[in-house]
Amino acid sequence: MIELPGEEIDRITFYRVDIPYREYFETSFGREYNKRTYIVLVESGGETGYGETVAGGEPRYSYETVDVDFLVTEKYIIPNLRGSTSNPLEFLDRFRWIKGYNMAKAAIEMALWDLSSKLLSKPLYKLIGGVRRYADVGVSIGLQKSIDILLDKIGKYLEEGYQRIKIKIAKNRDYEILKRVRKEYPDIKLTADANGDYSYGDIDYLRDIDEFSLLYFEQPFPDWDLYSHKKLQEILDTPVCLDESISNSGSAYGAIKLKACRVINIKPGRVGGIFESIKIHNISRDHSVGVWIGGMLETGIGRGFNVALATLPNVSYPSDISASKRYYVKDIVTEPWEIDSKGRMWVREGSGIGVEIDWEYLEKLTIWKKVFSLR
Ligand code: OSB
Ligand code: MG
């Protein structure tokens, strides 16, 4: 087990920010023009850990939203945080009684992991048992205005080095697009993500998706519908990958045992943080289920955690981790994340996630700031 320091928490600060995306991001559940989040700072033992929430502006991907998550944090987490230490495992124990709100919990839990590794003067990826100094990365491309625009973007991202292309699909915006992409790019690692847009009655229609030799087909049905995923997996050669359906290690175990998927997308925010992500990683490894690290268009802070997780040994597919400039005109960290020509993103060797905040830019983006002194 990982030995973690445990100094009392002095202070926790939240910066509510809106950060413009370079271009909007569209999925089957809607379009987003900017990143709406709050940045978390936890101070203890003379160090500061950083985190952010991946809850969205509206309850589309999940029931969680940035505003409701802050409300839950302020009303149920902050008052019970006094006397707690910076050990993320203690935090998880203390707030197990709060049902759901994984993204609200993860924002703080992750800041505590950054803080703990800073107190130990270690990079986070080493603390959690990473075996590589880089993440293999792919790019997730939203629904586009036309197939030609999509093909152009794919070409550009491949040129930049991304190892696999994921495209968003939706009901009635699927086969025609996939056919053209495969015709143009017969050999690339290609995946499709429906974000739960199909339903049980579409299973027979989806049978033909095998034609496109996808690396996997991500979340065709709604999060609660494991039965349809299992039924589809029975008739497909293409592995089914679950994203929204996997809310913690228990649901990962269940989905694997039910044979509802052969691949799992681990998003630390969705599952409640780093510790739960590692548990899902280990359960998947024990059942020969491949995993990769998903993304929520995070800022440079959230990206630091995703890169660290992607260095774990059973991360066997390229992750949804792209360069800062793919999402933002300007990231909120001083050194934007980049990829090399082989589609790898290298970890930072500094302690924690190894990023520093561009404070001036953060202040400029701040809608409100709240400081809670805990002692
Ligand atoms: O389903 O993986 C998803 C972004 C927002 C909400 C859901 C998803 C996504 C992505 C983006 O695909 C991946 C990334 O951060 O690059
Ligand atoms: Mg997804």
Residue pLDDT, tens place only, 214-252: 999 999 999 999 999 999 999 999 999 999 999 999 999
Match 């561009």 to its residue by tokens. 358
Confidence bin at 46 (pLDDT 50/70/90): very high
Count of residues for the chain? Answer: 375
- Cβ of 296 closer than 6 Å to ligand 1, yes or no, is yes
144: CB partners within 8 A, 6+ apart: 26, 150, 153
Q: Ligand 2 centroid vs 218 CA: distance in angstroms?
A: 6
User: Which of 141, 297, 321 has the most ligand 1 atoms within 8 A of CB, as the residue to mutate?
Assistant: 297
b/e per residue 339-372 (b: at least 16 CB within 10 A): beeebbbebbebbbbbbebbeebbeebeeeeeeb
pLDDT at 295: 98
Among residues 126, 168, 259, 370, which one is catalytic?
A: 168
Q: Which stretches of the chain are assigned E, i.e. beta strand?
A: 11-27, 30-44, 47-52, 134-136, 139-141, 165-168, 190-193, 217-218, 240-242, 263-266, 290-293, 344-346, 366-373
Q: Which atom of ligand 1 is nearest to the CA of 193?
A: 1
Dist. CA 48–CA 9, nearest whole Å: 10
Q: In what order do the strands lie in the sheet with 30-44?
A: 47-52, 30-44, 11-27, 366-373
pLDDT at 375: 86
pLDDT at 1: 53
pLDDT at 2: 66
pLDDT in tens, 308-365: 999 999 999 999 999 999 999 999 999 999 999 999 999 999 999 999 999 999 999 9
Q: Ligand 2 centroid vs 13 CA: distance in angstroms?
A: 30
Percent of residues, the chain, with pLDDT higher than 90: 98
- Cβ of 28 closer than 6 Å to ligand 1, yes or no, is no
pLDDT in tens, 19-39: 999 999 999 999 999 999 999
Please provide the average confidence, as pLDDT, over all residues in the chain: 97
- Cβ of 337 closer than 6 Å to ligand 1, yes or no, is no
